[in-house]
Structure 1
Amino acid sequence: MARWRTGCRAGGFVLALRAIALSAAVSCASAMARASQDAPSTIESDLHRFVVQRDGTVEEYDDTTLRANTPTGVDAIAQHYVWFDKDTEKLTIVTAESIDPGGVRHPVGPEAIRDVQEPRASGAPTFEDGVLRTIIFPGVEPGWRIHVVFHKVRGKPIEPGAFSYFVAPTREPVESQQLVFDLPSDMPLHADARGYVGEPPVTDGARTRYAFDYRHGPYAATEPGAVGYAQNGDRLMVTTDADFAAFAERYRAGAADASAADPAIAALAHALTDAQPDPVSKARAIYDWMRTNIRYVALFVGETAARPHRVIDVLRNRYGDCKDHVALFGALLAAAGIRSEPALLGLGPVYTLPSVPGYGASAINHVIVWMPELQTFADTTAGGIAFGYLPPGVMDRPALLVDEARMVRTPAVEPRERASRVQIDNDASGAARYAYRVEDSGWTAELERNVFRRATHERVQQIAYERLHNAGLRGSATIVADDVAATSGPFAVSMTGALEHVIWPDGMTGMPAISSLSGGIATQVEQWLAAGVRTQPFVCIGGGFDEAGQIALPSGMRAVFVPNDLELSAGGLHYRSHYVFDPATHIVQITRRLQARFGKQVCSPDEFAAMRPALERVERDALAQVIVAPRLDESSRSR
């Protein structure tokens, strides 16, 4: 259970309200109100009350008032959405009105309330139960409020006999928010609360009431590349499951499916794997078939019923959400003699889980597959990731193995290498021809291959011009990629073409000392340095980068400056560069090598501060220039 405590959070300070004088409480509230005026919109009041029955059905009562402080805030609140499952829930809008600064209420007419399809369903019929009830408020301007009261009844539980709820701030200032959970007394509520202040539970007869209060002034901006707010910020997870083992057992029981033994499943598994020589090859063949033939419908697990659809139906329909992918993939693996089990985790930029189990946007919201004999995780919803690798969104985080009912952690790192070669031949006019080749290996190789696999001819040409432009170059491009039909191994892309105005033959020119187009060392370091000072943990995915450049000058030009060599190490970084100009051949050679080995996906602000001087030196070196000028021969001196 959570420690039930009270407090007011404003601007990062926690004040124990019930232990100090009333005047201090008023001062806290006044300061928050003043500060919240600077934000685009403010949550003035927000009450959520959940009445949970023993079978897991729920009635929800919501009463919310939002205030627009700026024109941006008007855009944020003047159209309000309430999500519901039309097959299992009944939603009633009790009140919908805008309120002007004089207190006059302007009701929303029925013509301004409509239902729209949840866009993530992507047209898949079995997922069309998710609906957004849209309320369009009249006349909203800065200083106006919107007021919404609704009643939602869930007649079919997400999980029979259980209840869980996750909430994290939406990052608008909150003047007053309360969440109330009313449950049977023999269904104790377990909570992990951070920033949400729990009141002592109150039992009245056969039911117990749990309440959490929340207040917060303006939030600090999210720094570029930072982890999700819920990693270290405020959030609340409540659940009736006592521990993760009980949660795993509930998922396992709900996922049981007799159709997994259907002859069609076995026939497909054998067709895919009979020619494969070993379990790894068999699992890879099934994985590749899954990711190219079963369309992913991106709904988080737990938003609707937490049970997968029947495996045979997923196979027939050729689409499904993550739990459907796991169910079909697991059935095909079993038919091929490979044991697997679901692994529940949080997908996205939050690398932790609350201490109590439950579904939620920054809690458990995704499921992948673990193959114990192969010691391999797999996520078939990630179409651009080769077998044996995971997408970054599920790396280095806790995962609940469903069959074993125990917590493990997904791999923290995986191989990533990138090798690029650039050759630029300048002519006497200042124009140039170039040739470029880049090869990715490791987890990014299939990601790059998938970009070209899915691109039209027109899009491929756009990619070429974008990569030239991002390197500060202008010209033509012919692009050739490796075979996109492959599903594993390194992947290379080559570009050739002409460049305009690389050097100016009648004067001094600063020419980029290029060793890669976009995506190389310069791009990677710029991403890490996107925030000059970091106060929040950030994503630091490492890898190896090997780059070489060659710039050939016309006989009438010389290099008057090439950068100095550089070698440095800091934390998990090691960088080396080397430059040489051969006046006999008029060629500048450039080599750069960066190794970033952090051993994890998330680095701390202190680690960033320690490596920042090195990163800045690497950035400066990676963006360095070669200065060229006309040769000073005898004829030019006489003039």
Structure 2
Amino acid sequence: MTHDVGPSSWACRYRFATVVLILLSAAPFCFAKQDTVPDWVRDAAAQKLPDYPAETNAIVLLDDTTYSVAANGQATEHYRRVVKILRPQGRDDATVAVPFDKDTKILSLHVWSIGPDGHQYAMKDNEFVQYGYPGQGDFFEDDKVKVADAPGRDPGGVVAYEYEQRIRPFLTEKTWFFQGDLPSVSQTFTLELPLGYSFGTVWAHHEPMKAADLESQRWRWEMKDVPAINLEHVLYRPSELSLAGRMTVHYFGADVPVKTDGTWQSIGEWYEGLAKDRLVATPEIAAKASELTAGKADFYDKAQAISEFVQDQVRYFVIEMGIGGYQPHFAGDIFRNRYGDCKDKATLLSAMLSSVGIHSALMMVDTSRGVIDPDAPSIVGNHMIAAIEIPQGYSSPKLHSIITAKNGHQYLIFDPTWDKTPFGQLEHGLQGSYGLLLEGDQSQIVALPVLAPTLNTIHRTAHFQLEPDGSLKGTVTEKRFGDISESRRRLYVMEDAKHQSDFLDNSLGRDFTTFSVSGFAVQNAATLGKELTTSYSLTADHFAKAMGPLLMVRPRVLGSDGLETDRKVRKVPINLRQTMQATDDFSIELPPGYTVDETPDPVKLDLGFAAYESSIEVKGDTLHYTRTYTVRKVTIPSDEYGDLQKLAGVIEADEQGRAVLKKR
């Protein structure tokens, strides 16, 4: 894999390094005659290694980057990497994949390997495979990748490669991603600048390190024994990039036309130059915005009408080349074609709002919480959304995802790309993270809100009748609202009846052995501002278990809020994904001649980040079970894993609790 695994554009798509995995299985194995590898490869392969855990698949013996900037601002990257394979699962970690496009030409690429038997190989140019960007069936990018599967890629083998590449000079910033999913023995980054240039650095997820001055405008950072970020078997894991250390270099020169000085403001000013003329509303845009807001005077009503149009009627579709990874298309083109990527949709939204007197700005974010570090200004981010300015003095209970800028202005944060999040709210992946408000010289990093659990809800109600033979029948209604309804809305809007039926059967199969469903109905699947409601009649045989004159019945009839935990030592933050609240309200009419002899104890647990309570009440011939499960935070520190385990145990015990019925 290429070493630079950071986000490369704001198209709201998979990172390039991830997509390369799709290609690896197609790359042919290459065989070459006996050759000689360079000395730096042999030296790396011969060094004494630290002890690594038995499950380590591969290790990086050497990772060396030299970033050279010319007097005209052009840059060249020279890179070397040596990987040793320890287990069969590490073969893919030694596959060479170097992405490029028309602005990042690969000037040279060489690949060598040493097999487990000591045989040395040097691959030829005609043994490399070049692919176009694989795509996902609905977009185009000009990124390509050169892939090489070197001979000897087996446990004990070593693969090395070296390339030189011209770097696109979009702005004067370079990020060194020095930590990934493999442990590294040696990491170096060398910066070479022309006379008259200077630089500054910002660090994310790592303490700053001072560079060694090599003189002649050259500086080097060096690290030894960098640990891996291995989250493969970690429950509730955060994003790898939210933990991995990185350093961003901002460099400056008098003759450089596009530069940043290591501040969020300078990045915003750079982006203003890219986007300003793209945000202009055409007469056609103004006419459509006027049509959508006709008869509406309230700010919320006007902003909602336009935002939902862009959310629903502009298809997500990526066409980008070169700077197009960052620069949106013209609003007029986006409107006419009715498609665009995330920055295009945010741009069109801004243009339409401006034509009815509502100001908005673009906002750079990352779809994985924690990747953007407020103390490390850079363009590391993979998504663009909108910040709609709220008029001074205006308030509405419908506005929830609100931030306040330094000048006191308030903005409603909305993502027109996320097509299943109601207007006024923000998808869970962005909550609790940071975004760059792109307002020219007023640009600033802002904390994104964490929404109240009551905006992301599940409410299940059911009324059942239990028969003496243990069979159960009744009616069930489930209502969902907010992000937690997203997958169900997609199911009922986009899938056919068979997929919908299979999903319900699989869901109910977790709680019943034999059952039948009739009268299934769905409401508001496509109406984001209303609760998605499903209802049906249910019959389940053998639900209650007979033990002589007793019947054992589970008051929590269906639906689980269970949590999976393990006994491993927790070292990384716990990603709870989203705030939410789930409530159950079930009643069970007792069989004729039976009374309740024993019920599980009530439960009430509040851990701050989450709370859980349940109770059982018997009124006449009816057993009534209620519970409420609330999650208030999206991320908690690793030292609270014990509390999460406690919560999981309480929920499990409550969900499996049994009431005892006996004959009068």
TM bucket (normalised to shorter chain) is 0.7 to 0.9
CA 180–504 in structure 1, closer or farther in 2 if over 3 Å, else same: same
Q: How does 1:429-468 map to 2 (within 5 A)?
A: 429-445=469-485, 448-468=488-508
Distance change in 2, residues 1:317/1:266 (3 Å): same
Change (3 A) 1:356 1:349: closer
Code of the aligned partner of 1:605? S
Question: What's the CA shift for 1:611?
Answer: 6.1
Note if contact 1:43-1:66 (Cα within 8 Å) is conserved in structure 2.
yes
Which consecutive residues of structure 1, in runs of 5 or more, have no partner in the other structure? Answer: 1-25, 634-639
Matches of 2:618 and 2:220, distance apart in 1: 74
1:128 equivalent among 119, 137, 141:
141
Q: Determine the C-alpha separation between the residues in 2 that align with 1:62 and 1:37.
A: 29
Match for residue 271 of structure 1? 291
**Which of 632, 643, 649 matches 1:616?**
649
* Cα 1:474–1:115 shift into 2, 3 Å: farther
Give the aligned length: 581
Q: Which residue of 1 aligns with 2:328?
A: 308
Distance 1:301 1:371 in 2: 28
Q: Report 1:466-545 matches (<5 A).
A: 466-471=506-511, 473-478=513-518, 479-505=520-546, 510-514=552-556, 516-518=558-560, 522-523=561-562, 526=563, 529=565, 534-540=570-576, 541-545=578-582
Deviation of 1:379 (Å) = 0.8
Q: What secondary structure is seen at the aligned counterpart in 1 of 2:516? A: coil
Instruction: Confirm or deny: 8 A CA contact 2:281 2:352 kept in the other structure.
Output: no
Cα contact 1:158–1:302 (8 A) shared by 2: no
**1:189 and 2:199 are equivalent in the alignment:** yes
What's the counterpart of residue 72 of structure 1?
A: 89
Structure 1 residues 233 and 446: alpha-carbon distance in aligned structure 2, compared to 1, 3 A threshold: closer
CA distance in 1, matches of 2:72, 2:558: 60
Change (3 A) 1:109 1:468: farther
Q: Take 2:316 and 2:495, find their aligned partners in 1: how far apart are those partners?
A: 18
Give CA-to-partner distance per residue, 1:430-480, whole Å, 9 cap, x none.
433242211123453566434422232222112212321344554333432
Equivalence for 2:629: 594
Residue 132 (structure 2) aligns with: 117
Post-superposition offset of 1:93: 5.3
- Structure 2 distance, partners of 1:427, 1:167, is 64
**8 Å contact from structure 1 (residues 549, 589) kept in 2:** yes
> Contact 2:106–2:163 at 8 Å: present in 1 too?
yes
2:157 is the counterpart of 1:144: yes
TM-score scaled by structure 1?
0.82
In 2: Cα distance, 1:137 partner to 1:473 partner: 52
Is residue 309 of structure 2 the alignment partner of residue 289 of structure 1?
Answer: yes
2:190 aligns with one of 180, 190, 198: 180
* Paired amino acid for 1:356: A
Q: CA deviation at 1:339?
A: 0.3
Partner of 1:22: none
Equivalence map 1:528-567=2 (5 Å): 529=565, 534-540=570-576, 541-555=578-592, 560-567=597-604
Q: Percent identity?
A: 20
- Quote the residue 1:44 is aligned against: 61
**What's 1:320 paired with?**
340
Aligned equivalent of 2:254? none
Distance in 1 between residues matched to 2:473 and 2:321, nearest whole Å: 52
Cα separation, partners in 2 of 1:255 and 1:455, compared to 1, 3 Å? same
Report the secondary structure of 2:212's partner residue.
Answer: coil
**Change in 2 beyond 3 A, CA 1:49/1:487:** same
Match of 2:659 among 607, 622, 626: 626
1:410 matched to 2:448? The reply is: yes
Moved more, 336-345 or 271-280: 271-280
**Contact 1:342-1:401 within 8 A present in 2 as well:** yes
Q: Which residue is equivalent to 1:5? A: none
Of the structure 1 ranges 133-142 and 458-467, higher mean CA displacement relative to structure 2 is found in 133-142
TM-score normalised by structure 2 residue count: 0.79
How many angstroms does 1:297 deviate by? 4.8
Whole-angstrom CA distance in 2 between matches of 1:368 and 1:302: 21
Q: 2:414 matched to 1:372?
A: no
Find the counterpart in structure 2 of residue 345 from structure 1: 365
Distance between the aligned counterparts of 1:354 and 1:299, measured in 2? Answer: 30
Residue 418 (structure 1) shift: 2.3
Alpha-carbon spacing, 1:530–1:498, altered in 2? closer, same or farther (3 Å): farther
Deviations 1:341-378 (A, max 9, x none): 11223330316515232122xxx332211112253111
Contact 1:196 1:235 in 2 (8 A): no
Match of 2:26 in 1: none
- C-alpha displacement at 1:111, in angstroms? 6.1
**Which runs of structure 2 are paired with 1:194-273 in the superposition (5 Å)?**
194=206, 197-204=209-216, 207-217=217-227, 219=229, 221=231, 223-240=234-251, 241-242=260-261, 243-257=263-277, 260-273=280-293
The secondary structure found in structure 2 opposite 1:176 is: strand
1:26-63 C-alpha deviation (Å, 9 max, x unpaired) = 9xx85x53216641111111222222235553222222
- Find the aligned partners of 2:107 and 2:99 in 1 and give their Cα distance: 12
Distance 2:340 2:224 in 1: 37
CA contact (8 A) 1:416 1:544 kept: yes
Deviation at 1:166, TM superposition (A): 4.5
Give the match for residue 33 of structure 2: none
Aligned pair in 2 of structure 1 residues 187, 89: CA closer, same or farther (>3 Å)?
same
Q: Distance in 1 between matches of 2:635 and 2:464?
A: 38
Change (3 A) 1:218 1:345: closer
Match of 1:7 in 2: none
Partner residue in 1 for 2:435: 399
Gaps of 5+ in 2: 1-43, 252-259, 392-410
Q: 1:343 to 1:201 in 2, by over 3 A?
A: farther
Q: Which residue of 2 aligns with 1:163?
A: 173
Cα 1:496/1:82, change in 2 over 3 Å: farther
Structure 1 partner of 2:32: none
> Equivalent residues in 2 for 1:24-63 (5 A)?
30=48, 32-35=49-52, 38-53=55-70, 56-63=73-80
Partner of 1:464: helix, strand, or coil? Answer: helix
Residues 208 and 93 (structure 1 numbering): CA distance in 2 closer, same or farther, change over 3 Å? closer
The 2-side partners of 1:438 and 1:487 are apart by: 16
RMSD, aligned α-carbons: 3.2
Q: Which residue of 2 aligns with 1:10?
A: none
Q: Secondary structure at the match of 1:460?
A: helix
Q: Which amino acid is the alignment partner of residue 81 of structure 1?
A: A
Q: 1:371 to 1:258 in 2, by over 3 A?
A: closer
Partners of 2:388 and 2:71 lie apart in 1 by 36
CA distance in 2, matches of 1:214, 1:450: 47
Give yes or no for contact 2:461–2:478 (8 Å, CA) kept in 1: yes
In 1, the alpha carbon distance for the partners of 2:628 and 2:154 equals: 55
- How far apart, in 2, do the equivalents of 1:410 and 1:433 lie? 46
1:111 to 1:501, Cα distance in 2 relative to 1, 3 A: farther
CA change 1:303–1:610 in 2 (3 A) is farther
Alpha-carbon offset, residue 157 of structure 1: 2.4
Distance 1:299 1:215 in 2: 41
The residue matched to 1:137 in structure 2 has which SS?
A: coil
| 2:21 corresponding residue in structure 1 | none
Query: Contact 2:589/2:623 (CA < 8 Å) preserved in 1?
Result: yes
Looking at structure 1, the residues matched to 448 and 318 of structure 2 have their Cα atoms a distance apart, in angstroms, of: 21
Do the aligned partners of residues 546 and 532 (structure 1) sit closer, same or farther apart at CA in structure 2, a change above 3 Å counting? farther
Distance change in 2, residues 1:46/1:37 (3 Å)? farther
**Which digits, 9 at most, give the CA deviation of each residue in 1:241-280, with x for residues without a partner?**
3211111100111112257232222222223222434221
Task: Write the letter of the residue equivalent to 2:179.
Answer: P
Cα 1:498–1:132 change in 2 (3 A) is: farther
